[in-house]
Structure 1
Amino acid sequence: MIQKKSVKRMFLAAAILTSGAVFSAQADVVASVRPLGFIASAIADGVMPTEVLLPDGASPHDFALRPSDIARLRSADLVVWVGPEMEAFMTKSAAQLPPNRQVEIATLPAVKPLLMKGGEDEHDHDHAHENDGDEHHHGEYNMHVWLSPEIAREAAIVIHDKLVELVPQKKQQLDANLARFEDGLTKTDKNIGTMLQPVQGKGYFVFHDAYGYFEKHFGLSPLGHFTINPEIQPGAQRLHLIRTQLVEQKATCIFAEPQFRPAVITAVAQGTKVRMGTLDPLGSGIELDADSYVNFLSQLANQYLSCLK
C-alpha cells in the first residue's frame, strides 16, 4: 500500500513537472483566471500563496484542463472561479469540491443582483445560430464579473470569510488584508472616475463583449462589439454595420485584445480615421500581490484613455 502511494506521488510529481506549469505541490488558493487571482491574493497576502489556473495568453472561453491542473484543484485549500458559464472547463472538477473549499462568484447572494444581462443583441442574428451548439455559449448574464469593482468587493468579502473558516488562527491578518483591499478599491475607483471623465462621451468598439461592468461603472460610451464569443468570428452583417459607423465617424477607437488580434479589426478600420487600441481584460503580466487588483483596474483605465483621448 505504501509503495502504491509513493508510486502515485511520483507519477503526480512527474505530471506536474512535464506540464510546464509552475506551482507548488501544496496548492493553497487557486483562482481560475488572473483577475480573480488578483482579488484572492490581496486577501490571502501573507497567509497563503495564490495561484492561477489559466496560463497567460490563454482564453477562458476555450481552455481545457490538463491532468496537472485537476491535481491542483483537488489539492487546493480554496478554489475561486466565476461559474460554469464562464469556465466550462472547471465544472466537473468543481462539482467534486466541498462548498467550504470553493467560491463560485456568480452564485453569491450579494453578487446575483449585480449581474448584467449578457450578449445577444439584435445585430447578432447573422452568427447567433453558429452559437447554438456552442458549449461555452454565453448564457443569460455577462460573466466577466471581475471587471466590476462592486462585484470584486463582494467576492473579496466571501474569500475572506472562507479563509477565516479554514485558518481561524490567521483571522487578524485576513481582517487587515480585507480592510486594506476595500480602502484601496475605494481610492482607485475615485481616481479612475476622475481620469475617465473627459472621454465619457467618446464612442468606440471593443473586440468582444467583455467590458460591460467596467463601462457602466465608469460611464463610458461603447458603440458595440465585434463578437460575443471571441472564438466565433463576427458575421458579414455585423462587420458592415461597424464599418458604416466608422465611416460616419461615430467611433474614435477600436480595441483589440492581447489574446485576440483578429485581422478583421484591421480590415474594418482601413481607410478610416479611427485609432486602434488594446484592452487586456485578464491583466496578463501583472504580478499577483496585495495591490494587483487595483493595478489591474488602473491599467485598463489607462488603456481606454490612451486611445480615446
Structure 2
Amino acid sequence: MVRFGSLIAAAALSYFASGTVNAASGPSVAVSILPLHSLVSSVMAGVGEPTLLIPRQVSPHYYSLRPSQVRAISKADIVFWTEPTFLPYLSKAARGSKAKLVSLGKLSSVVRYKAREGGVWEGHDHGDHGDHGDHGDHGDHGKGHDKHGDHGKDHDKHGNTDDHMDKHTWLDPLNARAMTEGIVRTLISVDPANASRYKSNGADLRKTLTALVKRIDGEVSVVRGKSFIVFHDAYQYFENRFKIPASGSVLAHSGGAPSAKRLYQIRKKILSKNTVCVFREPQFDSKLAESLVNGTGARIGTIDPIGSSLEPGPSAYALLIRNLASSLVDCLKSG
C-alpha cells in the first residue's frame, strides 16, 4: 500500500516540477480522452504537458470538437487515441494533419475483445474474444501507428472487423501498461533528446500499474459472484481482468439508445436473477436506470469509465480504476 502510494506521488511530483528548458523543447502532443491523457502525461512528466481534446465531463460518443480542439490536432506532432473508428469525428478532424497518429488500443500487445451483443450476457465467456493472455513488462511487437487516410475497417488477428470490437481497452490496467510501452516508443521517435526521461517515466508508470492490478484484485474479491447491470457496455476489459462479470447493460457498447426489446430483457433480468445493483454513469441521465429498478430490490450505483470528476494529469488513471472498483464494491456488498 505504501509503495503504491509513493509511486503515484512520485509521478505527480515530477509532472508539476517540469523544468522550463525541457518543457519548451518537448513535442506538441494531443490526446483524445482523459484515461489515455493521464498515461501520456505520466510519460511526458518533466518534458511537457499534452493537450486533452475531449472534456472529461461529457460522453465521448456524443461530443463535437470545437475549433480550438481541431487546431490543436492540426498543430500536434503526435495524436494519441484509442483507434480511428472509436470516435470517427476525431479521425475526420485529423485528415490532412501532419501529426503522427497513434492508436493505442490497437497495439499488438493490447488485449482486445469482440463487442458483446444483446442486453444480457449470462454465462458470457471472454476466452474466445481475442484475449492474448497476461502482459509482461515487454515492449509492443507491432507498430500501432495509423497511416494518414487509412481510417477504414481493419481486422484483428482473429479476423474481426473493428466495427465488431469493443474499443474500451483502457479499462484493463494491463492494457494500459502495454500502451505505456507504445507511448514511450512514439515519444522517443519524435523527441530522441528526451529519451532517457521517457524511458524512466515509463518504467515508473509500469510499476504503478502492476501494483494497481494487485490492489484492485484484492478489493473486488469480496463481491465476486454478485449480479449487476451496467448502464453502458464499456466495462468488459475491467470485468475480465478482475473476474467480476456484469450480467448485462442498458446501452450498447457504442452508447446508442436501447430498444424496447433490450429494456424488456434488462428489466426481466433484474426481476428474475436477484440483481443487486444497476449502475448509471454521470455522463447520462439517471431517469432510465431509476425506471428499471423501480419496484425491485436492486440499488442504483454510479460508475464512470472516463473519469468525469478527476483532474487531468498523471494520477488520474489510477484514480479512475480505484474509483471504479470502490463504487462497484460499495453498491454490491450490501446485496
3-state DSSP class of the match of 1:61?
A: helix
**Could you say which residue in structure 2 is the equivalent of 1:279?**
303
3-state DSSP class of the match of 1:259?
A: coil
The TM-score, its normalising length taken from structure 2, stands at 0.75
Residues 223-232 or 46-55, more deviating: 223-232
8 A contact 2:105–2:170 mirrored in 1: no
**Could you say which residue in structure 2 is the equivalent of 1:40?**
40
Aligned partner of 1:162: which letter? Answer: T
Quick one: distance in 2 between partners of 1:76 and 1:262? 37
3-state DSSP class of the match of 2:246?
A: strand
Quick one: distance in 2 between partners of 1:223 and 1:107? 27
8 A contact 2:119–2:249 mirrored in 1: no
**Could you say which residue in structure 1 is the equivalent of 2:107?**
108
Match status 1:194 vs 2:218: yes
**Could you say which residue in structure 2 is the equivalent of 1:140?**
164
**Could you say which residue in structure 1 is the equivalent of 2:51?**
51
8 A contact 1:45–1:289 mirrored in 2: no
Identical-pair percentage? 32
Aligned partner of 2:261 among 237, 257, 268: 237
**Could you say which residue in structure 1 is the equivalent of 2:233?**
209
**Could you say which residue in structure 1 is the equivalent of 2:115?**
118
Alignment of 1:1-309 (within 5 A): 28-98=28-98, 101-111=100-110, 114-121=111-118, 139-229=163-253, 231-309=255-333
Question: Structure 2 vs 1, CA of residues 93 and 234 (structure 1 numbering), >3 Å: closer, same or farther?
Answer: closer
Quick one: distance in 2 between partners of 1:107 and 1:245? 34
8 A contact 2:250–2:262 mirrored in 1: yes
Quick one: distance in 2 between partners of 1:140 and 1:44? 33
**Could you say which residue in structure 1 is the equivalent of 2:150?**
none
Instruction: Give the aligned length.
Output: 269
> If you compute each CA radius of gyration, which structure gives the higher value, 1 or 2?
1
Quick one: distance in 2 between partners of 1:122 and 1:206? 10
Question: Structure 2 vs 1, CA of residues 198 and 122 (structure 1 numbering), >3 Å: closer, same or farther?
Answer: closer
8 A contact 1:73–1:93 mirrored in 2: yes
3-state DSSP class of the match of 1:222?
A: coil
Structure 1 unaligned residues grouped into runs of 5+: 1-25, 125-137
8 A contact 1:207–1:226 mirrored in 2: yes
The TM-score, its normalising length taken from structure 1, stands at 0.81
More helix as a share of residues: 1
- Deviation string 1:220-271 (CA, Å, 9 cap, x unpaired) is 0311001105653322222222222222352110000000124221111011
3-state DSSP class of the match of 2:163?
A: coil
3-state DSSP class of the match of 1:170?
A: helix
